[in-house]
Structure 1
Amino acid sequence: MTFEPITTRSTTPALERGRRRRRAWAVLSCAAATAVLVGAAAPAPTAPTTPAKHPVAAHPHAGASSLPELNPQALQQAISSAPSRVTGVLARVSGPAGHWTGTYGVADTTTRQPVPVDGRFRLGSVTKTFIATVMLQLAAEHRVDLDQPVQHYLPDTLPADYPPTPVRTLLNFTSGLPELTADDLPSTPEAIVRHRFDDHPLSELVAKAVRHDRPFTEPGSMQVYGATGYYVAAMLVEKLTGHSYEQEITRRILHPLHLRDTTAPETDPTIPGPHAHGYLAVPRPDGGSELADVTEQNPGAGGMISTTAGLDRFLTALFRGRLLPPAQMKELLTVPDKPYLGGSDNDPGHGRAYYGAGLMRVTLPGHDGRPGVTVWGKTGSTYGYTDGLFTTPDLRRRLTYCFNPVTGGGNDIALVNRIITAAYTP
């Protein structure tokens, strides 16, 4: 199928809408499908967290001996296997067990410029890991109690007939809060392109979501991936600090780690610096499709921007204990011993929970009788961009990647699997 670029409306009208905050476009939920993998100036914190002195050992599996030798050919072959509905791919492997960077495809379908190695991209649901980190910092500062119900802090956010919903359940996907549906926001390609600069406050998204039935009624009893819990967590950050969650991420994480190419925009719909464009295939009346450039869009929830190097630095600092004290690192990496709603033997938990607080635990298949490598990470998608970050608990091998699907977010699980497999298995 041949795609032709089409002209979309200028961003000027969006920028002229008073620079008011464009909040929480429902992009965090786009990454749900990719969860299924193989098998103003702010004041300083009132009580800074105390960093751990050593890397965290997160899981008994995936010792150094189980890591295969880095295979650049397999990695390049994996990213080059991207289907025609993906316009560009960027991937990076780092750590003492080997380094590699590769690209494939084009950054711009008109100019045919190659994908830049240092290209920026939208993070989508990888933003959840940053929100979880900020929430756990607030817990370490005794500004939030993870055992307290959400209703204690945000009394008018959830319906009155909801049971007490502990803050912890927001972070580890066991809250049982319902999700937005395709009827709640624009969902067709044409509507997405036309409304991609629309404003949707977090409170509006939560209010729409809780009109639906809950997937289960007892918070903490099961796990299921979703976005609504993190909309509420972001609202909680704002209630506790008096600042937007984007400001808190910037102050607490991006500035201390000198992540100059990583941003948490509140209003700016552009991607600064070098980047691959994001596209969405829009059907034509003749049955074909044409590409709409959706690079510029409402940043909202999931609108963070970074590079593979920036995500790698964040992941390294997180697992070295620079962002969270030991107790909160344990919280981050604690997977509830609960069933996963609708889970099966084919998902990472084999029917059981596999998410901690904003990170998933995945053990890849073994080889020649040896156990497979266990990694921790997160995937994310928004329109035009799908990305992820993964690491072994000892940080010996870290993977960050992004690719540009034209079919929306979360639709290329096979490509994600191939990239991860090439990085961590023989």
Structure 2
Amino acid sequence: MGVSGRLRSVGLGLATALLVVSTGPPAAAMPGRVDPLRRYVEAVHRTGVVGVAAEVTSPHSRERARAGAARRGTALPMPQNGRFRIGSATKTFTAAVMLQLVGEGRLSLDDTVEKWLPGVVRKDGRRVTVRQLLQHTSGIPDVLPRIPALNSAAGYRAERSRSYTPGELVRLALGQPPAAAAERAWSYSNTNYVLAAMIIHRVTGRSWAQEVTRRVIRPLDLRQTSVPGASASVPGPHARSYSTFGTGTAIDVTVLDPSMAVGSGSLVSTTRDLSRFYGALLRGRLLGPAQLDEMTTTVSAPEMGLPGVKYGLGLGELPLPCGGTYFGHPGELLGYRSWSGVTADGARTAVVYATSDGGQGTRQAMSALVGEELCGSRR
């Protein structure tokens, strides 16, 4: 999920994406200016994923393309506007809620974790701030290596329906050595956003799920976006997801209790809703100017493995192949991979998701699609 170990091979080179040998049928696409988007979608599919779908929006157009199958071994096409687990793109939603609370004066980015969650992070809670949680500079270890369902086929079969509480996740994470010293190193940790969800609950008296729904999902009319809680199914039309767990043999992993990713990666959405969300966010519909400036003020994020990539508060800043940068976030939760990007003015968005682990070039091809399509109006 997100930009931890599995994202270290991410790259932006379109050439890499297009050198892969074709392994599947051609893409189907919606009418419009589809040829470039179709080529990029086919490039993603050729890296070995079962299915892929993408959407690109601008002020006067929306283009979609898809390739592959919704279910492995069949000719069933990828669903139009199908739902999928968006993984770490969830972090942008969580950060937006936190920054709304900052704008309302209900908490400060400089508040410590200890102030809101006394004793939860032991002695480190006194030095780690809300800003460091959202920025991934807290040094708090990542909980995901401690979740059996995400790390082996046997673990998945045994614990795919297991539910976790946020407090249990934090205790599991703190059983590991610290990842990095705060204020000195950037180190991606999903535990940061589990703690952010807990702080949201403490500040508002309502759960993270309730707050993200009433503050983001409903105001933006994101009708296909939902907080699944402990539900192990993906609601509505969706493609199946698959993972090899590094063994080379893929299994269906669509059924999964996502409670291990509360605040950090559990949301379900669509390419259309993610396009609407990221566009609205960068246009200032969710945050005031001061809070949006905080979100888009970035630090170097070398762990992502991309030259020049930076990270703000729940939002990455990535190089564009045509020059300049864009904002967005990758996402991954067991067999669903996504990449969302938006221009700095919020005018153009590109979102792609794929099912299954794919191959070495999958992330490169997805990031190339987003970067090239966001450059579309500038070429």
1:77 aligns to 2:27 (yes or no):
no
- What SS is found at the alignment partner of 1:380? strand
Residue 215 (structure 1) shift: 2.8
Deviation at 1:307, TM superposition (A): 0.9
Q: Would you say 1:419 and 2:369 are equivalent positions?
A: yes
In 2, the alpha carbon distance for the partners of 1:245 and 1:216 equals 27
1:245 partner letter: W
**Aligned residues: percent identity?**
34
CA–CA distance in structure 2, aligned partners of residues 71 and 222 of structure 1: 43
Q: State which of 222, 225, 231 in structure 2 corresponds to 1:268.
A: 231
Q: Does 1:322 align with 2:273?
A: no
1:198 aligns with: 162
Q: How does 1:5-404 map to 2 (within 5 A)?
A: 27=1, 33=7, 36-38=10-12, 72-81=34-43, 82-83=45-46, 85-96=48-59, 99-109=62-72, 111-160=74-123, 163-180=126-143, 182=145, 185-186=148-149, 187-217=151-181, 219-281=182-244, 289=249, 291-300=250-259, 301=261, 302-336=265-299, 340=301, 346-349=306-309, 354-366=310-322, 372-404=323-355
Seen in structure 2, the aligned counterparts of structure 1 residues 293 and 184 have a Cα distance that, compared at 3 Å, is closer
Larger helix percent:
2
Structure 1 CA distance, aligned partners of 2:329 and 2:245?
28
Partner deviation per Cα, 1:293-325 (whole Å, 9 max, x = no partner)? 222211222221111111111112212211111
Counterpart AA for 2:161:
F
Which ranges of 4 or more aligned residues in structure 1 deviate by more than 6 Å? none
- TM, length-normalised to structure 1: 0.75
Counterpart code for 1:74: P
Q: What's the CA shift for 1:280?
A: 2.4
Q: Shift of the alpha carbon at 1:279?
A: 1.8
- CA distance 1:125–1:78, change in 2 (3 Å): same
Deviation digits for residues 118-153 of structure 1 (CA, Å, limit 9, x no counterpart): 111111111100000011111111111111111111
Give the C-alpha shift of residue 267 in structure 1. Answer: 2.4
Q: Rg larger in 1 or in 2? A: 1
Give the whole-Å Cα distance in 2 for the aligned partners of 1:145 and 1:37: 35
Number of matched pairs:
352
Alpha-carbon distance, 1:31 to partner: 7.7
Unmatched tracts of structure 1, length 5 or more:
1-26, 40-69, 367-371
Counterpart among 326, 345, 356 of residue 405 in structure 1: 356
How much does 1:185 deviate? 3.2
Q: CA deviation at 1:374?
A: 1.4
* Cα RMSD (Å): 2.7
CA contact (8 A) 1:31 1:125 kept: no
Question: Letter of the aligned partner of 2:336 in structure 1?
Answer: Y
CA–CA distance in 2 between the matches of 1:161 and 1:422?
Answer: 42
Are residues 32 and 253 of structure 1, via their aligned partners in 2, closer, same or farther at CA, if it must alter by over 3 Å? farther
**Letter paired with 2:374:** Y
CA contact (8 A) 1:335 1:355 kept: yes
TM-score (norm 2): 0.84
CA displacement at 1:288 relative to structure 2: 7.2
Q: CA deviation at 1:398?
A: 0.8
* Structure 2: distance between partners of 1:89 and 1:80: 8
Contact 2:7 2:304 in 1 (8 A): no
Residue 328 of structure 1 deviates from its aligned partner by 0.8
Deviation readout 1:404-423 (Å, 9 max, x if unpaired): 02469x98322223322431
SS of 2:311's partner is coil
Match in the other structure for 1:12: none
| Residue aligned with 1:178, SS | coil
